[in-house]
Amino acid sequence: MATVVSHHLISSIASPHSPSNSKASLFPKEPFNLPIKFRQNRCFKIEATTASQTPVLDPLLSPSKTTPHKKKSNEASLILIRHGESLWNEKNLFTGCVDVPLTEKGVAEAIQAGKRISTIPVDLIFTSSLIRAQMTAMLAMTQHRCKKVPIILHDESEKAQTWSHVFSEETRKQSIPVVAAWQLNERMYGELQGLNKEETAERYGTQQVHEWRRSYHIPPPKGESLEMCAERAVAYFEDNIQPELALGNNVLIAAHGNSLRSIIMYLDKLTSQEVTSLELSTGLPLLYIFKDRKFMRRGSPVGPTEAGVYAYTKRLAQYRQKLDESLN
Ligand SMILES: O=C(O)[C@@H](CO)OP(=O)(O)O
């Protein structure tokens, strides 16, 4: 696998709301600068219960349907990271949705990626539901100079929400919400999962295996084509991530070779032909700026010592300056 993006075209926790009554002050209303979908889910649950039940059932519930989401900026950064090398990358096995962890090299790659993005703002993190992407996001954030703690949101049940609640506003401000979504998972590789890639090419032919791996429309046996993967990954991006960027929230996505290829296809408006030659290396961060409803690709940040990184936008330069000042 190439060590760089080798496509020719690819050259707060914030604002908790003030409590409206004394009971609510015990149960802060907005735990994080929650991703919009989560706010909506929570609002739906408010409607499904009575006012007096609300704090008991879910102290995280927010009155956000009555509180407009304040736009922080007309610009936001978006970082994409493919997970570091996994144990099955190392063994050259088709992985897809099998949930395998990182190798030691993968851990080092994730840490290195973290160093490279350590001065780029991150307000929200999205990962797939697979451990290799989650490890990557968490390890990368250990290097971030903001020193905030990434915290995985547990929305799978009311109990999970309630039991993972953070009761200190100050602590919440020093945290970054992490949303894990299966829609960002790797392409489901069907009956190829667990097979060796080289042996599969010997058995079915290089051309056939290349089509299964890189064509847009052709699915591997009983698996997803890139087109099918794009349908759920891009829909998730449009419904859950893009609205956050539009509000000025800076987002990091840690996901997979093919789920990210489909998102990059959307961001860069690649054709189904062009995306076939897009390869992403493990652990390589890619930066986009979202402004005026457009995505501008800014390449792969080299690291905090690279002057060019801060020249991407004035806002990034200001963020870096703020980090420097807070350390002095
Ligand atoms: O095995 C997989 O799940 C993927 C990513 O590692 O492989 P490929 O690059 O062949 O799509």
Q: Please identify every residue annotated as catalytic.
A: 83, 186
Supply the residue whose CA is at minimum distance from atom 11 of ligand 1: 213
Identify the band that residue 306 occupies on the pLDDT scale cut at 50, 70 and 90: low
96 lines ligand 1 (CB under 6 A): yes
Domains and CATH numbers, the chain: 22-327 (3.40.50.1240)
Q: Which atom of ligand 1 is nearest to the CA of 257?
A: 5
- Given strand 149-152, what is the order of strands in its sheet? 149-152, 175-180, 124-127, 251-255, 75-82, 285-291, 294-297
> Residue 96 CA: which ligand 1 atom is closest?
3
Which comes out higher in pLDDT, residue 3 or 196? Answer: 196
Give the whole-number percent of the chain exceeding pLDDT 90. Answer: 68
Where is the binding site for substrate, in residues?
A: 82-89, 95-96, 132, 186-189, 197, 213-214, 257-258
Whole-number pLDDT of residue 315: 86
Look at residue 13 and tell me whether its pLDDT is greater than 50.
no
Q: What is the pLDDT of residue 310?
A: 54
Q: How far is the CA of 242 from the centre of ligand 1 (A)?
A: 26
State the pLDDT confidence band at 272, using cuts at 50, 70 and 90: very high
- For the segment 130-143, the average pLDDT, to the nearest whole number, is 98
Q: Is the pLDDT of residue 6 over 60?
A: no
The CB of 103 under 6 Å from ligand 1? The reply is: no
pLDDT value at 178 more than 60? yes
- Ligand 1: distance of its center to the CA of 117 in Å? 25
Q: Is the CB of 257 under 6 A from ligand 1?
A: yes
Q: What is the pLDDT of residues 275-288, one digit of tens each?
A: 999 999 999 999 99
Q: What is the mean pLDDT of residues 133-159?
A: 96
Give the Cα separation of 62 and 81 in Å (integer).
Answer: 31
- With beta carbons less than 8 A apart as the criterion, state whether 320 and 121 touch: no
- Given this model, what pLDDT does residue 307 score? 57
74 C-alpha to center of ligand 1: Å?
Answer: 36
pLDDT for res 194: 98
Q: What mean pLDDT comes out for the span 301-319?
A: 72
pLDDT in tens, 232-246: 999 999 999 999 999
Q: Is the pLDDT of residue 104 over 60?
A: yes
d(CA 11, CA 113): 19
**Nearest atom of ligand 1 to the alpha carbon of 89:** 6
Q: Which of 26-35, 55-64, 306-315 has the lowest mean pLDDT?
A: 55-64
Mean of per-residue pLDDT scores for the chain: 82
Confidence of residue 316 (pLDDT cuts 50, 70, 90): confident
Q: Is the pLDDT of residue 92 over 50?
A: yes
pLDDT, tens digit (0-9, with 9 covering 90-100), for 22-59: 333 333 345 455 666 655 443 333 222 223 332 222 23
Could you report the per-residue pLDDT of 200-218, keeping only the tens digit for each?
999 999 999 999 999 999 9
ipTM of the complex: 0.97
Give 93 Cα–ligand 1 centroid separation in angstroms: 8
Relative to the CA of 256, which ligand 1 atom is closest? 5
Q: Is 212 near ligand 1, meaning CB less than 6 Å away?
A: no
